[in-house]
Structure 1
Amino acid sequence: MSDLGRTNNNANRNSKSELHINVKDVPFHLCKETIAKRSAIVSSLLERNKIDELRCILRDIEADPETFELVARFCYGYKVKFTSDNIVSVLCIAYYLGMNEEHSTDNLLEKASGFLETRVLPCWNETVNALRSGDKSLEKLADFGLVDLFFDSLVQKASYDPRLLGEPPIKNSEYRPNPRRRLFDNDWKSEDLITLPLRFYEPLMIQAMESRSIPVEYIVSSVCSYAKKWVLDAEDDSVSGKKREAVEAVERLLPHKRGLISCEFLFKTLKHSIWLEASSECRNGLGMRVSKQLDMATPTDLKILTQGYGESFCFEDIQLVRTVVTSFYANYTNEEEDSEEDVSHFVKVARLLEEFLLLAASEASLKLEAFVALAEITVAISLGVLRYSDGVYRAVDVFLERHGYLTESEKMEACKVLDCKKLSRQGCEEAAKNQRLPLRIVVQVLLVSHLQIRDTVAKEIKGVEEKVDVEEEEEEEEIRVWSDEDEDEDEVEKMSEMLLRMEIENHECVVHRLKKTKKLSVWRQVKRKFGCLTTTSSSADDACTCDVKNKKKKKIHHHYK
């Protein structure tokens, strides 16, 4: 209590109007009438002589001494300094004590609401800080709608500038902030939502996703940061219950789309969900996300699944690798991609398993049973996908090198996963000279190498024979073509001669027709000259014409003879 409060308390200590209240073991001695003028609840309790109920009210709302002192100072007429740290608590006390305008003008509830509206909600930093500081008080103000007011303000600001949720997870982002962001540009990255309690953070993120005005990449960035702070990087094992709740909430918030979340984060979160004994829905959901983008992972990412709790990587949990790989092949579907691209995903996973097996084989702590289990998974994945098994051979070679103490039978156990028939020619050459391999395996490699050489020679001989046959067929085809060309040339010559004869005959007919026409036309001119075609003497004309026709017939008949 301030010095001024103590002075007033001392002046009224022996008065019957003195009000004694303890707020979390801190005593307050106040004037009943002064408090009753501002508080409708205190006034009602005094009228009914039930002042003890006031202590219950303050205990229920978990009022802290500092905030209650501000409220008391306001009742005494002093100016109250509102901040984002105390505004929610002040609102809570003023609300429950009935310090509204109906009881007294210019009251505390109105002043605190005005400060919240004009000084807190317009600013991102102040809004986040007020929401975080008023964690316990907001539970008592559920009916007041204050939480929804905070959420709406934060989502609206994040819609203008999604970077308020965190840096974009993708480099060289083409996002450009809304010009309206200048209203709160000065502090856009000062306060982070991941500092909020889980009971505020999860519903806020859900509202942000439902708004569809914020790119999902920024929401994912915020959720991943929240998981790192409260689950992955949290060192306090005594709060495993809170960490379990956090990882389950993170799983509910993460989208299922491929590529939005890094494989390393998903693998770590899945492993922590198992350690924390999270719900089966949480573990299955994270496992599904991991399997959907298994082809995008690296051997180091896959190594996370074998890690023991609280220890370095020691390849303890091989079964989890088997489960994830099985889930990938059982549930992988992508309608947007064609079959060739689907096969490429399977090839990537097969290569991933080979590289991971080689990485595991280089660990001296890897046991023989674990290596064989991993190798069997790798071989099963490569069937029908990879042509050669050289990757498995190299892993076996590295394992034998790092575990030189193995007996001959143990070496054979490690080599039982090696299919010599699927080794390439180079792989066979290397294995045949490898002194670390058991003698039986070397003999198998030599036999396979011999068969490969035999098959290669047979293929070459067959190829030569086929080439000779092809050449002979080509020669025969050329001969047939030449003979066909000769026949075609003969036919062309015959046709040419026939056309020539037809042209000649046609030409003669045309010439004959022209000559005939010319003779007739000349004769007609002669007849006109001698008056044979006059219209006045038709009989003479007929006689002349007949005579001419007779002569012409005779002449033409003589000509064809």
Structure 2
Amino acid sequence: MGVSCDLEVDINGEETFMVDKEVLSLYSGRIKKLFRKSKGVTKGLKVIFNDFPGGAESFELMARFCYRRGKFDVNPLNFSAFYCIAHFMEMNESVSNTPNLVEQTEKSLEEIRYWTWSEIILALRQCQDLEPVASTSGILSKYFDSLCGRIAASCAEPSPCPSSSSPDSSGFRLSCDTRSTESLKNNSFRATSTWWFEDFVALEPHWIEMLIKSMESKNVDHGIISRFLFYYHKSSFATATTDAKCKLTEAVVQMLQSLDLSLVSFKSLLGMLRVSSNLNISKCCRNQLEIMIGSLLDQATLDNLLIPSPAGTKYLYDVNLVLRLLNSFIGKEACCVALTRLRKVATLMDLYIAEVAPDPSLKPSKLLALIRALPDSARLSYDGIYGAIDIYLEVHSGLSEEEKMRVCGGLNYEKLSAETCNHLTKNRKFPSKAAAEALISQKSKLKSLLHETNQPNSYKPSPSSLVGSKGKAKKDESCQQIVLYAGKLDISTENQRLRAHLQGMQWRVLELEKVCRKMQVQMTKMMRSRLSSQNNAKSLPRLCS
């Protein structure tokens, strides 16, 4: 059959080819359909393709295949292009019992398990120029399925360098042109299961999403997947445009959400939040990222939370962010959070509150919100909160008595130690009403202890409960220590002495009650005097120790 050039083909505006219409129609169902009604026309035929996969270079490969009557070798170097061309041009026409291009590429795809790692990676990278056909034809899912299967196998291998996955293995051989090759030869690096990271960092985010889904289907460890996502974000972030950084961050956050968060690094999540703080990422994405960080708050350190406040705010640290993280940690049901995790976060928050308390711009409402963000059961003691409030009142000396009392509302006096209560009653920075409440609380605890002591079956502690960490008895003058120690005494020899001690303590309670009543009367008189004269109130007398 003679060859003529009766068809002009414009490929994506890049280049124009003059080809034989009949030759291409023999193999391309798409060309045959286009000219089905133009038989006999030999001049002025033209086709324009604006979305030809791979552009002019791929069309030239297709033309060669047709002119050579389908006798063209398909190998991993050109496989992706031929596969996408075959589907785009509907090349399912067979000539002289020669397998058509669709059949040849499908057969080659069935043998992908015999390809080396480097061959699949090379074929995968070629698909970036073959979009959108590469995504719709199913070739990408085949590539990712094969690659992820090998990643899962390597992560599960007990030996860091098995013979089945050595660089010389026919079933799993790495390319010489990828940077991961030399890294894979290093046993210590391979042992971390991160040898494959570099081979995927150049891929588009929507391809990475396909990769992650394939990994999850192969049961790849979520901790390894999350480490790759953070590596991918960091590697791509530096050279990306501002708009690309936003899209990249949003895509990675979305993918991280599908993972088991207990295996995701808190520090890496917080780092992602920090680098994206100046980006215009969507509010939904930022909320999702903060929720993930908040759910892992028990893994945080004090330095992690000391984040400078955003530009335009007066606070030294971003207190609002920490409040949002606390809300995410607690969630809708505080009772669902393990008590050990709650108390770990409470200890961290006591340190954080003490750190931000000296901030002159910190409002009482914000300090109180930080204290009350966790349920009361999270703290065994409020001594740390008392110390933070003490610092706050010292810096914010201009607060009114009402504002001071509002701040002190964050204290649980029942969970203050005797030493702290004693210190509070002498602390001039605290309002007198707070000192009175501390005394009342201690009186209540003392009455309760006295009542328990008078019971016939009162609790007798073990000797270990009365010994400190260094093996010495703790010297505590509080009534609790006295009562507990009394329970240890030999009643036959010490009964009279114990009774005398208890009577003295009861007398002290009565005296404290009288002092409290006097203070309440004085406070009432002073409040009335303020309302009438609007003069400066005289300071209340402090209790004697």
TM-score by length of 1: 0.59
- What secondary structure is seen at the aligned counterpart in 2 of 1:29? strand
- 1:63 and 1:55 map into 2 onto residues whose CA distance is 17
2:163 match:
179
**What is the CA-CA distance between 1:389 and the residue it aligns to?**
1.2
1:467 match:
489
Of the candidates 344, 347, 356, which is equivalent to residue 348 of structure 1?
344
Contact 2:27 2:95 in 1 (8 A): yes
**Aligned partner letter, 1:196:** L
1:3 match:
none
**What is the CA-CA distance between 1:346 and the residue it aligns to?**
3.3
**What is the CA-CA distance between 1:28 and the residue it aligns to?**
1.5
- 1:142 and 1:465 map into 2 onto residues whose CA distance is 79
2:242 match:
236
Q: Which runs of 5+ in 1 are unaligned?
A: 1-14, 164-172, 334-341, 474-561
In 2 relative to 1, CA 69–439 (structure 1 residues): closer, same or farther, beyond 3 Å? same
**What is the CA-CA distance between 1:327 and the residue it aligns to?**
1.8
**What is the CA-CA distance between 1:154 and the residue it aligns to?**
1.0
**What is the CA-CA distance between 1:93 and the residue it aligns to?**
1.9
CA RMSD of superposed structures (Å)? 5.1
CA deviation vs aligned residue, 1:59-93 (integer Å, no higher than 9, x gap) = 34444223324444555669999897864234322
Q: Does 1:330 align with 2:334?
A: yes
In 2 relative to 1, CA 117–227 (structure 1 residues): closer, same or farther, beyond 3 Å? same
Of the candidates 24, 29, 38, which is equivalent to residue 49 of structure 1?
38
**Aligned partner letter, 2:12:** K
Of the candidates 316, 319, 324, which is equivalent to residue 315 of structure 1?
319
**Aligned partner letter, 2:259:** L
- What secondary structure is seen at the aligned counterpart in 1 of 2:8? strand
1:387-426 correspondence runs (5 A): 387-401=380-394, 403=396, 410-419=403-412, 422-426=415-419
**What is the CA-CA distance between 1:391 and the residue it aligns to?**
0.9
2:264 match:
261
- 2:255 and 2:105 map into 1 onto residues whose CA distance is 33
**What is the CA-CA distance between 1:369 and the residue it aligns to?**
2.4
Contact 2:233 2:249 in 1 (8 A): no
1:67 match:
58
CA deviation vs aligned residue, 1:300-331 (integer Å, no higher than 9, x gap) = 44567x96599995223465245224328536
- What secondary structure is seen at the aligned counterpart in 1 of 2:284? coil
CA deviation vs aligned residue, 1:84-130 (integer Å, no higher than 9, x gap) = 78642343224433556823758766777788777997233442443
1:89 match:
81
Contact 2:290 2:325 in 1 (8 A): no
2:152 match:
159
In 2 relative to 1, CA 38–440 (structure 1 residues): closer, same or farther, beyond 3 Å? same
**Aligned partner letter, 1:255:** D
In 2 relative to 1, CA 462–351 (structure 1 residues): closer, same or farther, beyond 3 Å? closer
**What is the CA-CA distance between 1:21 and the residue it aligns to?**
2.0
In 2 relative to 1, CA 45–291 (structure 1 residues): closer, same or farther, beyond 3 Å? closer
**What is the CA-CA distance between 1:161 and the residue it aligns to?**
1.2
Of the candidates 358, 366, 373, which is equivalent to residue 370 of structure 1?
366
2:19 match:
31
- 1:301 and 1:227 map into 2 onto residues whose CA distance is 20
Highest Rg: 1 or 2? 1
Higher relative contact order (CA 8 A, sep 6+): 2
- 1:367 and 1:438 map into 2 onto residues whose CA distance is 17
CA deviation vs aligned residue, 1:389-436 (integer Å, no higher than 9, x gap) = 11102222333455566566655543442345543344356556766x
- 2:241 and 2:397 map into 1 onto residues whose CA distance is 39
- 1:355 and 1:233 map into 2 onto residues whose CA distance is 38
Q: Which runs of 5+ in 2 are unaligned?
A: 175-180, 185-194, 450-476, 496-545
In 2 relative to 1, CA 332–26 (structure 1 residues): closer, same or farther, beyond 3 Å? same
**Aligned partner letter, 1:66:** E
In 2 relative to 1, CA 364–407 (structure 1 residues): closer, same or farther, beyond 3 Å? same
- 2:46 and 2:335 map into 1 onto residues whose CA distance is 61
- 2:135 and 2:329 map into 1 onto residues whose CA distance is 46
**What is the CA-CA distance between 1:22 and the residue it aligns to?**
1.7
Q: Does 1:19 align with 2:12?
A: no
In 2 relative to 1, CA 92–350 (structure 1 residues): closer, same or farther, beyond 3 Å? same
Contact 2:233 2:248 in 1 (8 A): no
- 2:217 and 2:108 map into 1 onto residues whose CA distance is 29
Residues paired across the two proteins, number: 429
Contact 1:101 1:110 in 2 (8 A): no
